[in-house]
Amino acid sequence: MFPPKLKPYAYMAGAILLWSTQAMVTKLGVAELGPASYAFYAFAFTFIGSAAVMLIKGRARFLKTYKFHDSLPIATMGAAWGIGSFLYYISFQTVPASEAITLRYTWPLMLSLSGFFVLKEKMSLRSILAVLFGFIAVYGIVAQGNLVVPSFTNLVADGFILISAFLWVYFLTIEKKFGYEAYSSTTLMNFVSVLIIGAIALPGGLVLPSLSAFLATAYFGLITGAIGTILYIKALQSEDTAVISNLSFLTPFAALGWNFMILGEELHWYYLAALTLIVAGFFLSKAQAKSKATVKHGAEIYDVTRAFTGTSRVDLYVRMREDRIHALRVPAAMVGALKEMGLRQTEAKFATFAPAQLAMDIGDDEVEAVYSQLGLTDGDAVVFAAGEEEFNLAMLDEVARRLKK
């Protein structure tokens, strides 16, 4: 049996392995189909894959939670993702895949700027230095490593890649602001992207794919897109978000390896130097205080909201848009005492809700994710509270106090 604590890293390793092949596959697909036809087929398969995953995971029920006022944010996300990807694919016609993916990974630093200008988040000195690292990295790539006498490959294509990275950041900013459920919103977003790319590609006529091109676009959409996303979400549910997100930075390094081995592209030193600067800048900007998933108030109370990302319970998810979920860790032997307090035990192992009116059945996946996140065993029980953070902490503190009597 695979060790439970290693499962998140196995999920993430699988996601990285799949994602790292995207640039290589795109280079081959665009060479045969052109950017417009490739984008259309790739997004069509991505939509099919995301819709299938949504149905398999039982998330289709979330579709009824969307209101008319959600149309604009969803359409904007789909447009940003579709147009950004199309511009990215255009660049593959004139620049190496390694240059394209290295430049596009400036998006984490753009995200810091977006948080400052759009979400009004504070920008520390570390974040400013990280952005400076990013600018140096971009110049180094565009100038092909010669900072004094630059030699440019294709400034227009490089500009398209940077615009693509910016649009990806714009998409992430909107997603963060509205906090839509992952599976259903991704399916709707991909549907919008297919419509937009179709409007671009169909007037000029689609290039019919050969068997190899068909398989390439199917692999991109169904395997790297759908399955890669599932693995990533599973990893996020089971381990610290910061740890998993940081591991995603291995993707471009792995991609350089694929491009070198399969496409025969040169592995230039300035690609590695630029990626190292970008990653260093990201970690520098994120060197902040510890996450909220720490012990609070002398009792073992943790913020476990992320473990419920994409939960199949509509009522719980709707509450989570503004509320948090906290967990109190107690010995499993206390389950009887918890029931005497009026706390209801769910079907999942050793999980109860406080207070009783918040009781709702949750999936075993979510409970297992919390157990994995907190490193719990069968000797532990968990009491959940859902609501405003101050209310949750007060409620769980009271439960802990009564158990100690």
Structural domain of residue 120, as residue ranges? Answer: 4-285
70 and 147 belong to one structural domain: yes
Look at the pTM and tell me if it is higher than 0.85. no
Can you read off the two tokens belonging to residue 393?
A: 């902490």
Question: If you search the block for the tokens 């769910």, which residue do you land on?
Answer: 346
From 285, 309, 327, give the residue that closes a domain: 285
Q: Considering all CA atoms of the chain, what is the largest pairwise distance in Å, rounded to the nearest integer?
A: 76
Can you read off the two tokens belonging to residue 165?
A: 């990275």
Whether residue 184 lies inside any domain: the answer is yes
Give the pLDDT confidence score for residue 115 in this predicted structure: 61
Question: If you search the block for the tokens 């092909």, which residue do you land on?
Answer: 144
Is 367 in contact with 342 (CB distance < 8 Å)?
Answer: no
175 and 36 belong to one structural domain: yes
Tens-place pLDDT, residues 64-101: 888 898 899 999 999 999 999 999 999 999 999 999 99
Give the pLDDT confidence score for residue 374 in this predicted structure: 78
Give the pLDDT confidence score for residue 323 in this predicted structure: 67
102 and 183 belong to one structural domain: yes
53 and 177 belong to one structural domain: yes
Coil, strand or helix at 253: helix
From 240, 259, 285, give the residue that closes a domain: 285
Mean pLDDT (whole number) for 223-230: 82
Question: If you search the block for the tokens 């503190």, which residue do you land on?
Answer: 397
Number of domains forming the structure of the chain: 2
Mean pLDDT (whole number) for 188-203: 94
243 and 327 belong to one structural domain: no
177 and 226 belong to one structural domain: yes
106 and 182 belong to one structural domain: yes
Give the pLDDT confidence score for residue 151 in this predicted structure: 67
263 and 317 belong to one structural domain: no
From 254, 285, 316, give the residue that closes a domain: 285
Is the pLDDT reported for residue 27 higher than 90?
yes
Is 16 in contact with 254 (CB distance < 8 Å)?
Answer: yes
How many C-beta atoms lie closer than 10 Å to residue 343's C-beta?
20
Give the CATH number of the domain where residue 383 resides: 3.30.1360.30
Give the pLDDT confidence score for residue 284 in this predicted structure: 74
Q: How confident is the model at residue 105 (pLDDT cuts 50, 70, 90)?
A: confident
Tens-place pLDDT, residues 337-393: 777 776 766 655 666 665 444 445 466 667 777 777 777 777 888 888 877 777 778
DSSP annotation string for 266-288: ---HHHHHHHHHHHHHHHHHT--
276 and 307 belong to one structural domain: no
265 and 313 belong to one structural domain: no
Whether residue 292 lies inside any domain: the answer is no
Coil, strand or helix at 381: strand
Whether residue 164 lies inside any domain: the answer is yes
- The span from the CA of 229 to the CA of 30, in Å, is 23
155 and 92 belong to one structural domain: yes
Whether residue 379 lies inside any domain: the answer is yes
337 and 248 belong to one structural domain: no
Give the pLDDT confidence score for residue 291 in this predicted structure: 40
Is the pLDDT reported for residue 28 higher than 90?
yes
Mean pLDDT (whole number) for 212-238: 82
Which ranges of 93-240 would DSSP assign to H, the alpha helix?
97-104, 107-117, 125-142, 155-178, 182-201, 211-218, 228-238
Give the pLDDT confidence score for residue 155 in this predicted structure: 87
